[in-house]
Amino acid sequence: MEDAAENSTDTTVTGNEPRSAAAPPAWTRGRDITGRLVFLGTGTSVGVPVVGCGCGVCTSADPRDKRTRTSVAVGLPAGHLLIDTTPDLRGQLLRESIARIDAILYTHDHVDHVYGLDDVRPICYAAGRPLPVFCEERVETRIRRAFDYAFEAVPVPGGGVPKLTFERITTAPFTLLGAHVTPLRLGHGVFDVLGFRFGAVAYCTDTNLIPDETWPLLAGLDTLVLDCLRPARHPTHLSLTEALAVAERVGARRTLLIHMGHELGHAAVSAALPAGVELAYDGLEIPLDVAAV
Ligand SMILES: [Zn+2]
Ligand SMILES: [Zn+2]
Ligand SMILES: [Zn+2]
């Protein structure tokens, strides 16, 4: 086997070009996450541990204190949805044995939510077709600028690029992979971002303000996934005190906090949380009961 690989002239997967018929890749489709929401990452933009930091959380032996950048994979009735593409995307998909993604949905255009997009190349190749990207105009503009090589009029021979198609979304509800999706406008400092509701589960990352028009859309939730950066206030993220106030007002059966920094140690903070509120962690999975449409 080794010799065959070494002698082949086409053993490098660059992303899009066909491989030699003599050595077909043994693609796995990974596991099926239909009916599940998988926390790929639960950390803030620099991740936890923070490079160079020797604090108790960054040096903790608790695996729940290891937080990659915030993202989830959602098993919808007609396929797997990825919400955001973090710089940790490749490691997240390998860790969770998720090899099939049928669409990407973006919350906003910040680096920690977008810049792992190139990691979808093997997924595009295995699917044999472009990956649909659902986002607002600002996100599409960022992607076209940051990944300009993917949109060249004349593709570079042999150059692997992510193959994408764009689907514009607004705050209007839409159907995606057999599910009804309700966008949720959220304030993130001076930025407007989107959260999303699937059935009785809402995903609200990167926010420090729930606008008036969004509160009614959070009624009757079973599970609220909510931004919570740290104990102290911050200009673009909810503090722990603010997140707990949002959780209480929404009144979901279960609230799971995400996008956490190294100021929040899992065990110590968890012990002091009110009933029904938990810190999420990388690899956590929750059920997602979404009626097919
Ligand atoms: Zn973020
Ligand atoms: Zn630290
Ligand atoms: Zn952000």
Residue 211 in domain: yes
Q: What is the pLDDT of residue 12?
A: 46
Report CA(143)–ligand 1 centroid distance (Å). Answer: 16
Whether this prediction's pTM lies above 0.85 is answered by yes
pLDDT the model gives residue 11 = 40
Q: Which domain holds residue 175?
A: 30-287
- Give the ligand whose atoms come closest to the C-alpha of residue 260: 1
188 CA distance to ligand 3 centroid (A)?
7
Q: Which of 60-69, 75-84, 232-241, 284-293 has the lowest mean pLDDT?
A: 284-293
Q: How close is the Cα of 111 to the center of ligand 3, in Å?
A: 8
214 falls within a domain: yes
How large is the average pLDDT for residues 18-42?
81
Nearest 5°: CA angle at 282, between 210 and 58? 95
**Residue 23 domain-assigned?**
no
Taking the centre of ligand 3 as the mean of its atom positions, its distance from the CA of residue 108, in whole angstroms, is 7
- pLDDT above 90 for 127: no
Q: Is residue 56 a part of any domain in this protein?
A: yes
pLDDT (tens digit per residue) in 158-211: 768 999 999 999 999 999 999 999 999 999 999 999 999 999 999 999 999 999
* Ligand with the closest atom to the CA of 86: 1
CA of 224 from ligand 2 middle (Å) equals 27
Structure tokens at 112: 């920690």
pLDDT given at position 293: 87
Is 16 a member of any domain? no
Q: How close is the Cα of 3 to the center of ligand 3, in Å?
A: 47
- Greater confidence (154 vs 243) lies with 243
Is 216 in contact with 233 (CB distance < 8 Å)?
no
Using CA atoms, how far residue 283 sits from 64, 92, 96, 100, 237, in Å, is 9, 9, 7, 17, 23
Confidence of residue 3 (pLDDT cuts 50, 70, 90): very low
In a domain, 234, yes or no: yes
CA of 134 to the centre of ligand 2 (A): 34
Q: Residue 124: give its domain's CATH number.
A: 3.60.15.10
Neighbours of ion ligand 1 (CB under 5 A): 112, 206
**Residue bearing the bigger pLDDT, 160 or 44:** 44
Residue 251 lies in a domain: yes
Say whether pLDDT at 58 is over 50.
Answer: yes
Of residues 11 and 222, the one with the higher pLDDT is: 222
Edge-to-edge strand list for the sheet holding 223-227: 174-176, 179-188, 191-198, 201-204, 223-227, 254-258, 277-279
* 148 found inside a domain: yes
**What ligand is nearest to the CA atom of residue 259?**
1
Q: Distance from the CA of 151 to the center of ligand 3, in angstroms?
A: 25
User: Structurally, how many domains does the chain consist of?
Assistant: 1
Mean pLDDT of all residues in 228-242: 98
pLDDT of residue 5: 38
d(CA 243, CA 209): 10
50 against 152, higher pLDDT: 50
Mean pLDDT in the chain? 92
Beta-bridged to residue 56, according to DSSP, are none
**206 alpha carbon – ligand 3 mean position (Å):** 5
Ligand at shortest distance from the CA of 192: 3
